[in-house]
Amino acid sequence: MEERSLYKRGKVLVTPSKLTVANKSYIIKNIASASVETIPANKIPLAIILVAGILIMLVKDMLLIGAVIVVIAIVFYVLMKDEYTVRISAATGEVADIFTTKDRGYAEEVVTAVSEAISLSAYSYYTNQPPANFSTDYKL
């Protein structure tokens, strides 16, 4: 009999006993917590290009070229997005980043599902049965 899934989207599957991301699996009872961590976009190269564009604008007969460089740098600077990683921690202190996405909502959904699986695993460990209000009705 196949285990009920708490969450399934893309490369992530969470069941009450296992978290699978792509081809790697983690046992829920070995996971103490899950969190979303932000990886800021590296905007330093674009800031350098922006400054270079401004300097080029100061050179005689290069105003248009410098302005184009400045506009392109500003557009890319605004469009760059942070990335989010789902980080799991074991009771032993071991930490692993299990996947990265630009969609914060997706990362938060996975963390919520993993947290529910951790709760179910702890409850089942002490009672040897799932809770009466056990539900897998995620609305996505």
Domain boundaries, the chain: 7-40+82-127, 44-79
Residue 7 pLDDT > 50: yes
What is the distance of C-alpha 66 from the center of its chain? 37
Comparing 42-51, 79-88, 113-122, the range with the smallest average pLDDT is: 113-122
Q: Which CATH number, 3.30.499.10, 3.30.420.40, 3.20.20.70, 2.30.29.210, labels domain 7-40+82-127?
A: 2.30.29.210
Record the pTM.
Answer: 0.72
pLDDT band for 67, please (50, 70, 90 cuts).
very high
